[in-house]
Chain A
Amino acid sequence: MSDTKTDTAPQLIVSAAPHLKTTDSVEKIMYSVVVALLPALAGAVYYFGLQALWITGIAVVTAVATEAAIQKFRKVRITALDGSAIVTGILLAFNVPPSVPWWIPVVGTFFAIAIGKHVFGGLGLNPMNPALLGRAFLMASWPVLMTTGWSAPTGGTTSGVAAVTSATPLMAVKAAMRDLALGVNVEQSRAVVESAGTAKAYFSLFVGSVGGCIGETSALLLLVGAAYLFYKKYINYRIPLSYIGTVAILGWIFGGEGLFTGDFMFHILAGGLVLGAFFMATDMVTCPSSPLGQWIFGFGCGLLTIVIRLVGGYPEGVSYSILLMNLVTPLLDRYTKPKVFGA
């Protein structure tokens, strides 16, 4: 970031090793993530109407304003436009239902930036993903608003969201599985579970025409963005692969009525797994930096997600599992540190 350029160019730079320089900077990486999130945002506007754009816009503006205000208060250099606050704002908006009141993204983003990031010292020092912490705060504070604001996607209307409240696929299937286990509403519940396993249902989950949080529904558009980040080498395959792989395998083994009958495609595509695995578990600050640590991190996230989805009280567990694994990241880094070459 801080080039030692002076007015008297060109100069000979003599410095200690390493001599390899990268052209990456916080701005470059963060704005690439913003670009990678745009397809999913476009999808959200298509499915949920301008409300999705409005919520995301509010979250981004709040994030940048909070960052600037706190940096001014802390008397440090103001870097509110380096992109990291924008990413936090977008990710937080992606994690709330489309028809929440306007102040939900404001309070959530403020909490994410102020408590999730600056209390610990700002960018790079936060132990947990700020956007997910903001979501956890919203979930604990306004559980009703955060779990009932689903609107059925209206596909193509830009006039706004149809005020239809529908459950997310994960909620519907979880309720049906519980009914099956209790032996009530058997026929209806079995129909729900079976319809979730059809090619048509997979297709809706893949393109995103289902109820859910603003940015999590469309696996396709999220993958397009993730592909861009892979191309730029800002994320690698280890965490997404081990995370999604663990969810798929455990979902297949334990997700059904008997062993090895679970619907693993459903567990991969439904809920926030794709968003979480590619964009939030891979956050450079809060995931391990050693390759083995990343494998373990992904596995832990997957294990916790499946445990919460199948036996926990919530229908979806992606955000909590990533937050919990964030907390063991320093430990993972410590025990998986590669040996120094030659030592």
Chain B
Amino acid sequence: MQRTLVQEFTKGIGSENPIFRLVLGLCPTLAVTTSLLNGLGMGLAATFVLLCSNTIVALIKGIVPPKIRIPIYIVVIATFVSITEMVMAAYTPDLHKALGIFVPLIVVNCIILGRAEAFAGKNSVIRSLIDGLGMGAGFTVALCTLAAIREILGDGKLLGYPVMGQSFEPVLLMILPAGGFFVMGLLMGALKLKDLRAAARKRAQAIAET
């Protein structure tokens, strides 16, 4: 049963969210989510690269020799990462500086290569484009959630504006690397718990019906 185009988009945000469900691309996720602006910037940059690379990979899938497909995918991805990096350096120098090495490292981000390998290399151009958009949106949503929680708790601010009042003492740990792991782990645990409880309810219902 083939998914509709809408489902192709929404799976990236929900059931196949790259961060919370597929657990891919954790390195930039943990490293740059110290403030909402950084998270958003990283998410949008990765989404752009993902969208373009998915489209191109789907276009050339018929002429790529299977044995050397990975190097070819990497070249495609690297092209768009270079474009992104130069644009960011030119128009958003502060964000470019804050994200640092993690912008060039989008080249080896496993979400992007993973989608090229697992999806765009096997599906039509329009589906690959929608898939890239959905996965990018899912990545951005996850990054922004993490970044917002960490910025509010660790800095008392959101997008740079104070939100927690005068007497709040920032939880410094939250913007340290360890805080990234804590927030990430707790969010994944909460999602898992939701799944488990839903499954348990379903089972109970099934038993009640029989």
Chain B neighbourhood of A141, CB < 8 A: 171-174
- Interface positions of B from 123 to 176, Cβ below 8 Å from A: 169, 171-174, 176
Query: CB distance B176 to A115 under 8 Å?
Result: no
- Expressed in whole angstroms, the minimum distance between the Cβ of A112 and any Cβ of chain B is 14
Query: CB distance A140 to B173 under 8 Å?
Result: yes
Chain A neighbourhood of B174, CB < 8 A: 141
Chain B neighbourhood of A140, CB < 8 A: 172-173, 176, 178
10 A-B contacts (beta carbon < 8 Å): A107-B171, A115-B182, A119-B185, A140-B172, A140-B173, A140-B176, A140-B178, A141-B171, A141-B174, A143-B172
The interface size bin for chain B is: 10 to 19
Partner of B169, one of A115, A119, A137, A142: A142
Chain A neighbourhood of B178, CB < 8 A: 140
A119 and B173 CA atoms in complex are apart in Å by: 18
Q: Helix, strand, loop or mixed for chain A's interface?
A: helix
- Asked if A145 CB lies within 8 Å of chain B CBs, one says yes
- Interface positions of B from 45 to 60, Cβ below 8 Å from A: none
Chain B neighbourhood of A119, CB < 8 A: 185, 189
Chain A neighbourhood of B169, CB < 8 A: 142, 145
User: Please, which residue of chain B has its CB at the minimum distance from the CB of A107?
Assistant: B171
Interface centre among B172, B173, B178 (most CB of A within 10 A): B173
Chain A neighbourhood of B173, CB < 8 A: 137, 140-141
- Expressed in whole angstroms, the minimum distance between the Cβ of A80 and any Cβ of chain B is 21
Chain A neighbourhood of B185, CB < 8 A: 119
Partner of A142, one of B172, B176, B182, B189: B172
Chain B neighbourhood of A145, CB < 8 A: 169
Residue interface mask A117-160, B partner, CB < 8 A = 1: 00100000000000000000100111101000000000000000
User: Please, which residue of chain A has its CB at the minimum distance from the CB of B154?
Assistant: A141
User: Please, which residue of chain B has its CB at the minimum distance from the CB of A137?
Assistant: B173
- Expressed in whole angstroms, the minimum distance between the Cβ of A139 and any Cβ of chain B is 9
- Expressed in whole angstroms, the minimum distance between the Cβ of B198 and any Cβ of chain A is 15
A142 and B169 CA atoms in complex are apart in Å by: 8
- Expressed in whole angstroms, the minimum distance between the Cβ of A132 and any Cβ of chain B is 15
A119 and B189 CA atoms in complex are apart in Å by: 9
A119 and B178 CA atoms in complex are apart in Å by: 16
A43 and B104 CA atoms in complex are apart in Å by: 58
Chain B neighbourhood of A142, CB < 8 A: 169, 171-172
A278 and B134 CA atoms in complex are apart in Å by: 56
User: Please, which residue of chain A has its CB at the minimum distance from the CB of B169?
Assistant: A142
A291 and B173 CA atoms in complex are apart in Å by: 37
A143 and B171 CA atoms in complex are apart in Å by: 10
User: Please, which residue of chain A has its CB at the minimum distance from the CB of B182?
Assistant: A115
Chain A neighbourhood of B171, CB < 8 A: 107, 141-142
A142 and B153 CA atoms in complex are apart in Å by: 12
A142 and B189 CA atoms in complex are apart in Å by: 26
User: Please, which residue of chain B has its CB at the minimum distance from the CB of A103?
Assistant: B169
- Expressed in whole angstroms, the minimum distance between the Cβ of A105 and any Cβ of chain B is 14
A140 and B176 CA atoms in complex are apart in Å by: 9
User: Please, which residue of chain A has its CB at the minimum distance from the CB of B176?
Assistant: A140
Assuming A141-B173, A145-B169, what are 16 further A-B pairs, CB within 8 angstroms?
Answer: A107-B171, A115-B182, A119-B185, A119-B189, A137-B173, A140-B172, A140-B173, A140-B176, A140-B178, A141-B171, A141-B172, A141-B174, A142-B169, A142-B171, A142-B172, A143-B172
A238 and B172 CA atoms in complex are apart in Å by: 37
- Expressed in whole angstroms, the minimum distance between the Cβ of A120 and any Cβ of chain B is 11
Interface centre among A107, A115, A141, A145 (most CB of B within 10 A): A141
A143 and B169 CA atoms in complex are apart in Å by: 11
Chain A neighbourhood of B182, CB < 8 A: 115
- Expressed in whole angstroms, the minimum distance between the Cβ of A59 and any Cβ of chain B is 18
Chain A neighbourhood of B172, CB < 8 A: 140-143
- Expressed in whole angstroms, the minimum distance between the Cβ of B151 and any Cβ of chain A is 15
A115 and B189 CA atoms in complex are apart in Å by: 12
- Expressed in whole angstroms, the minimum distance between the Cβ of A67 and any Cβ of chain B is 18
Chain B neighbourhood of A115, CB < 8 A: 182
A115 and B182 CA atoms in complex are apart in Å by: 9
- Expressed in whole angstroms, the minimum distance between the Cβ of B172 and any Cβ of chain A is 5
A107 and B178 CA atoms in complex are apart in Å by: 17
Chain B neighbourhood of A143, CB < 8 A: 172
Residue interface mask B56-85, A partner, CB < 8 A = 1: 000000000000000000000000000000
